[in-house]
Amino acid sequence: MKKYFIFIIIAGISACTNLDETIYDRIPADKFPENAEQAALKVIPTYRELADLIDDNGWWFWTQEATSDEIVFPVRLTDWEDGGKWYLLHQHQWSNNIDAVNSMWPNLYDGVTEANRALDDLEGLNDPVTVAKLKTLRAFFYYLLIDNYGDLPLVTSFTKAEAQPKKESRKVIYEYIINDVKASLPYLPATSQKFAVSKGMAYMLLAKLYLNAEIYTGTPAWADAERYCDSIIQSGVYVLEQEALSPFKTNNENSVENIFTIPFDEKSQLGFRIHMRTLHYLSNLTYDMPVGPWNGFGAIEDHYNTFEENDARKKGFIVGQQYDSNGAPLYDQTADAPLVINPRIPKLIIDGSHSLEEIRMSGARVGKFEIKKGALENLSNDFPLFRYADVLLMKAETMIRQGKNGDQFVNQIRNRAGVAPFNNVTLEQILAERGREMFCEGHRRQDLIRFGQFTKAWWEKPTSDPKRTIFPIPQWAIDANPNLAE
């Protein structure tokens, strides 16, 4: 359906009659790229690393959500026990040898490595646009790295990289990537396809870095964060969609609200299986899916209850009696009961002392990302890493933190959702509104940390150690490079 990354083999056709000449059917690696058009292709491998962020190849998305107060993967008898890798995230009891920690670290560094490899290849070739895109993409991966792991190696070359690099402080890397993005901005296009680096994406990256500056460096930078939000707002490139769930439709590649996305396609760009992880086993009958979902995660009931009944965003949850595609009520034969999804989850670990209805049907399921009729195991919805609604919420937050009134910006979000506007909105209300608007988009962990709420107790999670605001470096990485233990 969508064609984003096009790999081109450039044939070398010789008009010479010298039969001793070596004829190539492609440009040799040591001679590629030869010009700016070929150089532009060097950015593709770095883009491709983004796709693994969302599922459990790279784990970034799930670590942001499963550690938060938004969603939970309850153990349903033996289903989703998986050695504890899901519920340990919820309880903030992970080690440096858990699947999420082990997988997220190399995936994020793979993005850095691909960018460095391409930048090395482009040395000596005058192509500032491609270089700017690569440096901005590398900065994005480093942003995710310092956000999740804190201090870590700053590697800026593939060919000159040390075998066992030492760690740099979070602050040093923060300053390095900010300077890289700022230097790249003049060369970035004002508009582009949503999956590509643009000025809007770079502005948003800078706004995010400055928004969390106090966490990364110890010194807040609210005015700087507001300034880059203003750059996006005043550009006029992005606007809110009329409907709250429109940015998440199956065909959302041209959404006017989305700023930077990961492109997915059910057949050719795999890696987005959120529906498989949340839908009940029988939900394939609702959507005429040829595959059966896995009956996994749901919204934490306390979070679900923060939505008012008339909130348009509440339509992104799946609750109540379920029906097949012809409108007939579904019946769960295993539970011997109608399939009625109940927002209440009785326990984190639902054992045999609970009814089969509680085990199999508890927890509001997530339908925020449209599940089309006939959906396959992978969805075609593009995943918005950055979108305009977030800009408005960030603008409101930075204004409040500077003693100003943020009503004008947060109420654009409230009005679209069909709920009453705020009057003199507070930071507490901003955090709650971010939870509703940005639900299940990979922002909640960071937001809770910035607002000082991440280590507090919530449903089935005790108060956690302040050290839990960053993940430990995987033990396997420390074994390979002892400098990472320092």
Asked whether residue 119 is domain-assigned, the answer is yes
Question: Which token pair is 330?
Answer: 């579904």
**Mean pLDDT of all residues in 180-187:** 98
β-strand partners of 260: 386
In the chain, pLDDT over 70 holds for what percent of residues?
A: 92
Residues 156 and 297 in one domain: no
| Residue 66 near residue 72 (C-beta atoms within 8 A) | yes
pLDDT of the residue at 22? 38
Going by C-alpha positions, the residue among 366, 357, 358, 309 that lies closest to residue 336 is 357
Asked whether residue 260 is domain-assigned, the answer is no
Distance CA 78, CA 56 (A): 19
Asked whether residue 29 is domain-assigned, the answer is no
Residues 348 and 411 in one domain: no
Asked whether residue 377 is domain-assigned, the answer is no
CATH code for position 414: 1.25.40.390
pLDDT of the residue at 179? 98
**Mean pLDDT of all residues in 444-460:** 98
Q: How confident is the model at residue 4 (pLDDT cuts 50, 70, 90)?
A: very low
Query: Which residue range forms the structural domain that includes residue 426?
Result: 39-250+385-471
Distance CA 413, CA 58 (A): 31
Total domain count, the chain: 2
Residues 73 and 211 in one domain: yes
Residues 77 and 132 in one domain: yes
Average pLDDT in the chain = 93
pLDDT of the residue at 423? 98
Q: How confident is the model at residue 28 (pLDDT cuts 50, 70, 90)?
A: very low
Please give the backbone phi and psi of residue 476, each rounded to the nearest 5 degrees, phi first: -60, -35
Distance CA 53, CA 100 (A): 11
Q: Which of 313, 338, 366 represents a domain boundary (last residue)?
A: 366
* CA distances, 74 to each of 81, 87, 267 (Å): 8, 7, 30
Question: Which token pair is 208?
Answer: 């995010």
Q: How confident is the model at residue 25 (pLDDT cuts 50, 70, 90)?
A: very low
* CA distances, 79 to each of 88, 248, 361 (Å): 15, 28, 13
Q: Which of 337, 366, 395 represents a domain boundary (last residue)?
A: 366
Residue whose entry in the numeric block shows the structure tokens 């005043």: 234
pLDDT of the residue at 124? 85
Q: Which of 366, 394, 425 represents a domain boundary (last residue)?
A: 366
Residues 163 and 200 in one domain: yes
Asked whether residue 24 is domain-assigned, the answer is no
- E-strand spans in 235-322? 258-262, 298-299, 317-318, 320-321
The model's pLDDT over 237-288, given as tens digits with 9 standing for 90+, comes to: 999 999 999 999 999 999 999 999 999 999 999 999 999 999 999 999 999 9
Residues 215 and 81 in one domain: yes
- Whether the predicted model's global pTM rises above the 0.85 cut: yes
Asked whether residue 358 is domain-assigned, the answer is yes
Residues 208 and 346 in one domain: no
Residues 146 and 244 in one domain: yes
pLDDT at 34 over 70: no
Q: How confident is the model at residue 15 (pLDDT cuts 50, 70, 90)?
A: very low
Q: What is the DSSP letter of 293?
A: -
Residue type, 243: E
The model's pLDDT over 342-383, given as tens digits with 9 standing for 90+, comes to: 999 999 999 999 999 999 999 999 999 999 999 999 999 999
pLDDT of the residue at 17? 34
pLDDT of the residue at 37? 63
Question: Which token pair is 99?
Answer: 């699947």
Asked whether residue 15 is domain-assigned, the answer is no
Q: How confident is the model at residue 9 (pLDDT cuts 50, 70, 90)?
A: very low
**Mean pLDDT of all residues in 452-467:** 98
Going by C-alpha positions, the residue among 223, 274, 145 that lies closest to residue 402 is 223
pLDDT at 53 over 80: yes
Question: Would strands 340-341 and 349-350 be described as parallel, antiparallel, or unpaired?
Answer: unpaired
Residue type, 163: A
Residues 174 and 68 in one domain: yes
Residues 51 and 177 in one domain: yes
Residues 60 and 154 in one domain: yes
Residue type, 449: I
pLDDT of the residue at 411? 98
Residues 398 and 358 in one domain: no
pLDDT of the residue at 12? 31
Asked whether residue 77 is domain-assigned, the answer is yes
Question: Which token pair is 31?
Answer: 């001679």
